[in-house]
Amino acid sequence: ALSDKLARLVKEMRGQARITESNVQDMLREVRMALLEADVALPVVRDFIARVKEKALGQEVVGSLKPGQALVGIVNRELAATMGEGQAQLNLNVQPPAVILMAGLQGAGKTTTTAKIARLLREKFKKKVLTVSGDVYRPAAIEQLKTVTAQAGAEWFPSTPEQKPLEIAQAALDYAKKHFFDVLIVDTAGRLAIDEVLMAEIQSLHAALNPAETLFVVDAMQGQDAINTAKAFSEALPLTGIVLTKLDGDSRGGAALSVRHITGAPIKFAGVSEKIDGIEIFDAERHAGRILGMGDIVALVEQVSAGVDMDAAQKLAQKVKSGDGFDLNDFLMQLQQMKQMGGLSSLMEKLPGELAAKAGQVDMNRVEKDVRRKEGIICSMTPRERRNPQLIKAQRKKRIAAGAGVQVQEVNRLLKEFEQMQGMMKQMKGGGMMKMMKKLGG
C-alpha cells in the first residue's frame, strides 16, 4: 500500500539532520502519486508539490523527528492550509431574509443540500427557513424540493414549470420578507455540462437576489473534471463557499483541493449521506489525511512529536527530583514507555552519549524483542525484589530466570543494565547533592 511505501521512505531517510533536494525527491514523488490517485487535477498537484518543496528545503529537522517524518508533517499541514484552515461557517449576517443561492451541475446534490442546510439552520440555529426551486425544466425537481424540505421541517414556497426562474425568485423573496423568514434558500436548475443559457440565468438570479451566500455544490466523485466545472462557475458567479457532496463514497476527495485552488472559496460543508442529516462542517485537516491516504504516518509523526506517555514520564522525573531511589519498577516503566512509543529508536537517541552510540548500531526488531524479554524478567520478580534489587542473589536469580523462561546470565545482564541506569539517575541528582553538601559544609 501507499502508506507502507511512505513508511519505508521515512525509515530510509533516518539519520539526516536536514531536508535536502536529494533526500526529499523520492518522498515527494510518492506524495505526487497519492494526490493524482486522489484525483487532484494535475496543475494543482504541480503547484502544490512546488510549494511544499520550497517550504521544506533546508528546513532543519527538530527534536527526534527524521527528515521524512518532518516532510509528512509539512505536506499534511500545507494540504490542510490549502483547503482552508479551521472551519468556515455560513455568513448570514445581513438584513433578513438572508438569501443562499445554490449553484452546480445537475446531480451534484443541490436540492438535497438545500434541505440539509435548511434543517441545520432550523435545528441548530433556530432560524426560520424558506426554500424555493427555480428548476423549471424538470417538474420532478420542484416536487423533490417540496418533499425534502418537509423532511427538514422547513417551509417550501411553491413554483411551477410555467414560471420564469427570476419571477419565482422574486415572489419567494417578497413572501420571505413579508413573513419574517430569516433565510431563503434558492435551489436552481442543474446543467449536465457548462451551458451558456443556464449560466446567464443563474447570473441574473444572483443579480436580483443579492445573496449573502452563493454556494457551489460539487460532487466529490467528479474527480479530475471538477476543476473545469469549478472554473466556469467561479468565473460566472462570486462564489462564497463550496459544498463537497458524496464524501461517503470511496473517492479520496481530491476534488476538494482542485476546487478550492481554482475558486479560492472556502469549503464550508461536506455531504456524507443521502439522508437529511448527512451534512457536516468541512474539516480540512481530517480531509488532508484522507486525500493522502496516509493517516498512519501522520499519526506516527504526531506520536513522535508528542513523545512518551507524559504522565508516566512526569512521575518518573518527579521521583528522580525528590530523591526517591530509582528501582526496578521504574526501570520496567521505562521499558514499557519505549514499547508504547512504537518509535523505539527515537527514544534511544535521547539517551546520553555512549548508550546512544550503541543504539545507533542496533537492529530495532531485535531491540523490541529484547525489551519484551526484559519485561518478562522483571515481572517474574516479587514487588520486594523490584524495590530492593540488592536482595537478588543466586537463589533468587535462579527462580526468576525459571519464571521468565531465560538463562540466569540474562537476569545478570538485566541487573547490570539496571545498575548502569541507576548510576545515570544518581548523576542527574548529583547537582542537588552537591548543593546540599556545600550547604552542610558551609
Residue ranges of the annotated binding site for GTP are 104-111, 187-191, 245-248
Annotated binding residues, as ranges? 104-111, 187-191, 245-248
- Closest contact distance (angstroms) between CB of 260 and Mg ion is 23
According to DSSP H, which parts of 38-164 are helical? Answer: 42-56, 67-82, 110-125, 139-152
d(CA 172, CA 163): 12
The pattern of x and - marking residues 376 through 415 that bind Mg ion according to CB under 5 A reads ----------------------------------------
Judged by CB under 5 A, the residue of 69, 76, 82, 111 near Mg ion is: 111
Nearer to ligand GDP, 118 or 272 (CB): 272
- Closest contact distance (angstroms) between CB of 99 and ligand GDP is 18
d(CA 254, CA 267): 13
Does 248 engage in binding with ligand GDP (CB under 6 A)? Answer: yes
> 219 exposed, middle or buried (CB, 10 Å; 0-12, 13-18, 19+)?
buried
Nearer to Mg ion, 106 or 329 (CB): 106
Does 245 engage in binding with ligand GDP (CB under 6 A)? Answer: yes
The angle that helices 67-82 and 2-12 make with each other, rounded to 10 degrees, is: 130
> 96 exposed, middle or buried (CB, 10 Å; 0-12, 13-18, 19+)?
middle
The pattern of x and - marking residues 252 through 271 that bind ligand GDP according to CB under 6 A reads -------------------x
Number of residues that bind Mg ion (CB under 5 A): 3
184 pairs with which residues across the strands? 99, 130
The overall longest dimension of the chain from CA atoms, in Å, is 103
Does 111 engage in binding with ligand GDP (CB under 6 A)? Answer: yes
Judged by CB under 6 A, the residue of 272, 297, 320, 414 near ligand GDP is: 272
The site partner of 271 among ligand GDP, Mg ion, none (C-beta below 5 to 8 Å per kind) is ligand GDP
Does 159 engage in binding with Mg ion (CB under 5 A)? Answer: no
The residues, any chain, with a CB within 8 Å of residue 341's CB and separated by 6 or more, are 303, 304, 307, 308, 347
d(CA 131, CA 143): 12
Contact (CB, 8 A) for 242 and 109: no
Residue ranges that bind ligand GDP, judged by CB under 6 A: 104, 106-112, 190, 217, 245-246, 248, 271-274, 278
Residue ranges that bind Mg ion, judged by CB under 5 A: 110-111, 141
